[in-house]
Structure 1
Amino acid sequence: MSARTPAVPAASPHGWARALLTVLSALVAMAVVASLGLWAAGATGLPGGAFPRVVMAVVVIAVGGSVELSGDAGGLVGSDAALTVLPLSVTLTGALVLARGFVRPLRHGGHGGTAGARESAGWAGRIAVLWSAALLGLAFAARRTFAVPLGEGLLNDLGDFFGIEPRVGFTTDVPSTVLFGLLWLAGVLVVALLLTDGAALPGRLRTLVASARPAACAMVALLLACVVLGLVVGLVAAGTRGHPAETFAVLLLGLPNLAWLALTIGLGAAWDGRVEGPFGLPMPRVLDEVLRTPDISTLDLGTLTERDGRMWWLPAAAVVLLLASGLLAAVLSPAGTPLWAHAARLAGALVCTVLMICLVGRVYAHYGLSVLGIGDLGGGLTGQVFLRPRTWTALWRAALWGAAAGLVGALLVRWSRAGRRAGAGRGGRDGR
C-alpha cells in the first residue's frame, strides 16, 4: 500500500503576509504621489534634507493625522503657524489602493454565513493592526526642524544685528494621528464593503448593505468622475497656459479638493474664504483672485463667473453627472423598487457625500514671523488662507438635487425596460 503524500495547505488569502502587502502598497502609492506633488511645488529645496520628512508628514495629514507647526528663535522673535488641509489626491490614492487590497481576497476566498463574516472581520483586524504600526512609525519619523531665512530688508537687518537665526519645524501628535488614521481606515473599509457584491456579512447586515449599495456605487462613481474631469481640465491647462509645474502640483496634491469643491458650487453651494500674503498653497488663478480681498469673500457660482465666464459650465456638468448617477443607481437597484425609494436613497447618499466634502474640503493655514514685533515689512513672512463651507445650504440643496436625480434616473430606466419588454413581446408575436 503506497503512502499518501500529505497535502500542503494553500496560503491563506487573509493572512498576515497579504495584509502587510496591502498596507505597504497603499503607503508606497501615497508616498509616490506626495513626493511628485511636493517636487512640482518646489519643496525639494527645503534646507537640512527635510524633503523625505515632509513627504511623511503629508502622508500623515492625508489619513487624518495631526501635524503641528512650530518656530523658535529666542525671545526677540515671535512665530505662529497652523495648518489644516487634506491633500486629497494623496488621500484618494491610498483609499483606492487599500480598498482594492481589502476586497480582493473577500471576492475570491470568502465563504457565506457566520463563518465567512468572522473571517472577514479577522482580515480587517489584521489590516488594522499593521496599519496602526505603520501610523506609529510615520508619526515618529515625520518630524523636522530647520533654519529659514528672514528675507530681505528690515527683518534681515534686524536678524543680522541681533544674531537671530529663526528655526521652524513640524512634529506629529502621535495619539491623535493613530486614532484618526484608524477612523480613516474604518471609513475606507466600510465603503469598500458597501461596494463589494458577495462579501461575507451577517444576514441582517447583508440586507441593509444590499439596499444601500446602488446609491453608494453611484456616489463613488460621481466623485471619481469629478476627479477624472478635473484631471482632463488640468492637463489641458498645463499644456496650453504655461506654468506646468504649478498645475501638476495642484493635480498631485489637491485635485479632488478642487474637483469636489466645483461639484458643490455647481449644485448651488457657497463657501466663505480669504487669502492673504504670498501663500504657497497651489490653487488656480481664478480661485486666488476671488479669495484675495480685504474682507471675507463668498465663493460661489456668481463670484466665479464675474472673474471667468466659463465657470457657467459648473452647473451644467453637475446636472449631467447627477443624472448619470441616478441612472446608475436605478440600474443597480432591484426591479420593482418604488420611485420614492429611488429618490429618497439617492437624496440621502448625496447629502452624505456633500457633507463629507464639506468636512474634508475645509482649509485653514496661517504663518507669521516677527522680529521685535515687525513681521510684514520687507520679508513677506506673514500669510493666511482659509476656506469653509456654508454647510446647511449645501446639504438641503444636495437633498433636492439627489431626490430629483434619483427620480428621473428611475423613470428613465423604468421606461427603457418597459420599451424592451414591449419590443420583445412584438417580436414574439411576429415570430408566431
Structure 2
Amino acid sequence: MTSPSPSGRAGPVAGRASARHGWVHALVTVLAGLLAMGVVAALGLWAAGAADLPDGAFVPVVAATMVTAVGGTVELTGSAGDLADTRAGLTVIPLSVTLTGALVIAWGFLRPLRHRAVAGAAELAGWAGRVAVLWLLALIGLTLAARHTFDISLGDDLLGELGDLFGASPEVGFTTDVPLSVFVGVVWLAGVLVLALLVAPGAPLPGGLLRFQASVRPAAWAMVAMLLAWVAVGVVIALVVAATRGDAAETFAVILLGMPNLMWLGLTIGLGATWNGRVEGPFGLPMPHVLDEVLRTPDVAELNLRTLSEHDGRVWWLLVADVVLLLAAAFVMAARSPARIRAWQHAVHMAVALVLTVFMICLVGRISAYFGLSILGIGDLGGGLSGRLFLRPKLWGAVGLAVPWGLVTGFAGALLARHVRRRGEVRPETGG
C-alpha cells in the first residue's frame, strides 16, 4: 500500500516504492517460471538419455525444449556435403514443461492480487505488462541459446562407405525462429494470465467484467481441475508401472516431458474422437506400446477406441474415466455457481467449456517429426537414417462430440448438485 500525501493522494516516494516492488515481484515470477520449466525439462531429457548427446548439446537442447513448450518454433538443420542431402523437421509441444511453467507463472501473477474482489483494468494491465516485458527478455535469451550443431555417424553399411568415399560428413543441429518464437511465447503468456484470472476463485476482476464471472469462472475452474486430474491419474499409473515392470528412466521421461500429451489424448479418445497418424523408422513414441502398434502400419492409421481395443481391451477404461471425471467436473461447476443458474444453463456452460477444452487439446497435441539422409540418392526416407512420425486429430469430429458430452454431463452434474448449498441460496428455516 502507498502512504497518502497531505493532500490525500499517494505521494511520489510511495508510488515509486510500489512500482519498484511490482517490478521485483514480476522478476521473481518470471524467474520462478523459467527455473521450474528448466528443471522439469532437464530432468526429463536426462531420463530420456539426452545427457549423452555429443559436443555439449544438452544445455541447448534444454533451452530448445523450453522454447517449444511455450509454442516456439525450433528448426532442425543438416548438412552432409555437396553430394548428400538431409531433410528434417519437428513439431511437438512437451506439455509437462508447458503445464509446469503455466502453473508457476499463474501463481506468481495472482499472489499480489489475492484477498481482493475488484481491481481496475489499468492496474491489472500494468501488473501483466511488467511480467510480459521481463518474459519477453527471457524469451529472447532462450531462443538465442537454443541452437547447436553436432556430427553424426553414418555407420558401417553402404551409406558409411559412400560417406567416406565422397567426404560427406553429416552434421545435424537445430536453431530457432527468434521473432516467431518470441511472438508466440508472449501470446502464450497472455493466455496463461487471462486463464489465471478466469479460473482462480479469489482473483479480482475489473468491475465491468464481474457480471460474467458467475457463468465463466466455475466452468473454467472445472475444466482446469479436470485436466489436472487426468494428469495426476496418469502420473500414478506411470509410477505403478515403473515400480512393477521396470523401465524407470523411460517412465520418468514420459512423466516429465509428455504426460499431459498422453493423458489428454486419452481424454479425447474416450469421448469417441479419432486421431490419424503413422510411425515409420526408428521413432519411439513416449506412449504405451499399444499406440505404437496401431500407428506402425504401411498406411495412415486411425487411433480411436475401436482400433485400440483390437490390441488391448483395457482402453475402454478411457470411456469410464471420461464419464467419471466429466460428471465430477460438472458437479463441481454447478456447486460453485450461484443458485439462480438453472440446470439447462449449467448444461450449456459445460458444453461450451468442454468444446473449448477439446479444441485446445487438438491444437497442442499434434505431433510431426521426420528426418532423412541420402547420399547419391541412396538412403532417403525408408533407410536406417530416416524416419517419420505424425499424429493429428480429426478436429471437427472431436469438437462435435464434445457438445453432447458437455450437455449431458452438465445437466446431470446440476441435478447431483441440487442439495449442495450454493452462493445466493436462501433456505427456509425449519421449526424445532
TM-score, scaled relative to structure 2? 0.92
1:53 corresponds in structure 2 to 60
Provide the aligned length of Structure 1 versus Structure 2. 418
User: Displacement of 1:246 after TM fit?
Assistant: 1.4
Structure 2: distance between partners of 1:272 and 1:239:
32
2:240 corresponds in structure 1 to 236
Structure 2: distance between partners of 1:35 and 1:59:
10
Q: 1:276 to 1:390 in 2, by over 3 A?
A: same
User: Displacement of 1:385 after TM fit?
Assistant: 0.5
Structure 2: distance between partners of 1:137 and 1:366:
27
DSSP-derived class of the 2:258 partner? helix
Q: Is 1:140 matched with 2:144?
A: yes
2:197 corresponds in structure 1 to 193
State the Cα deviation string for residues 368-414 of structure 1 (Å, max 9, x = none): 01111111699611101100101111111111111111100111111
Counterpart contact for 2:371–2:381, Cα < 8 Å: no
User: Displacement of 1:94 after TM fit?
Assistant: 0.3
Structure 2: distance between partners of 1:204 and 1:399:
29
Structure 2: distance between partners of 1:49 and 1:314:
41
Structure 2: distance between partners of 1:93 and 1:201:
24
1:332 corresponds in structure 2 to 336
Give the percent of matched residue pairs that are identical in Structure 1 and Structure 2: 63
> Which 10-residue stretch deviates more, 372-381 or 71-80?
372-381
Q: Is 1:157 matched with 2:161?
A: yes
Q: 1:345 to 1:422 in 2, by over 3 A?
A: closer
Counterpart contact for 2:214–2:338, Cα < 8 Å: no
Structure 2: distance between partners of 1:287 and 1:423:
52
> Which 10-residue stretch deviates more, 236-245 or 23-32?
236-245
* One-letter amino acid of the structure 1 residue matched with residue 83 of structure 2: L
1:390 corresponds in structure 2 to 394
Pick from 73, 81, 96: which aligns with 1:66?
73
Q: Give the CA RMSD over aligned residues.
A: 2.3
Structure 2: distance between partners of 1:14 and 1:405:
45
* One-letter amino acid of the structure 2 residue matched with residue 342 of structure 1: H
Residues 74-223 of structure 1 aligned to structure 2 (within 5 Å): 74-108=81-115, 112=118, 116-223=120-227
Pick from 283, 295, 302: which aligns with 2:299?
295
Q: 1:375 to 1:105 in 2, by over 3 A?
A: same
Structure 2: distance between partners of 1:152 and 1:268:
47
* One-letter amino acid of the structure 1 residue matched with residue 87 of structure 2: D
State the Cα deviation string for residues 242-276 of structure 1 (Å, max 9, x = none): 22211111111110000000000111111000000
User: Displacement of 1:73 after TM fit?
Assistant: 1.7
Pick from 389, 407, 412: which aligns with 1:408?
412
Structure 2 unaligned runs (5+)? Answer: 1-10
Q: Greater share of helix residues, 1 or 2? A: 1
User: Displacement of 1:159 after TM fit?
Assistant: 1.3
User: Displacement of 1:348 after TM fit?
Assistant: 0.1
Q: Is 1:313 matched with 2:324?
A: no
State the Cα deviation string for residues 324-374 of structure 1 (Å, max 9, x = none): 001000001000212221000110000000000000000100010111111
Structure 1 unaligned runs (5+)? Answer: 1-5
User: Displacement of 1:141 after TM fit?
Assistant: 1.1
Structure 2: distance between partners of 1:241 and 1:111:
50
State the Cα deviation string for residues 100-134 of structure 1 (Å, max 9, x = none): 000111115x5745xx3322211100000000000
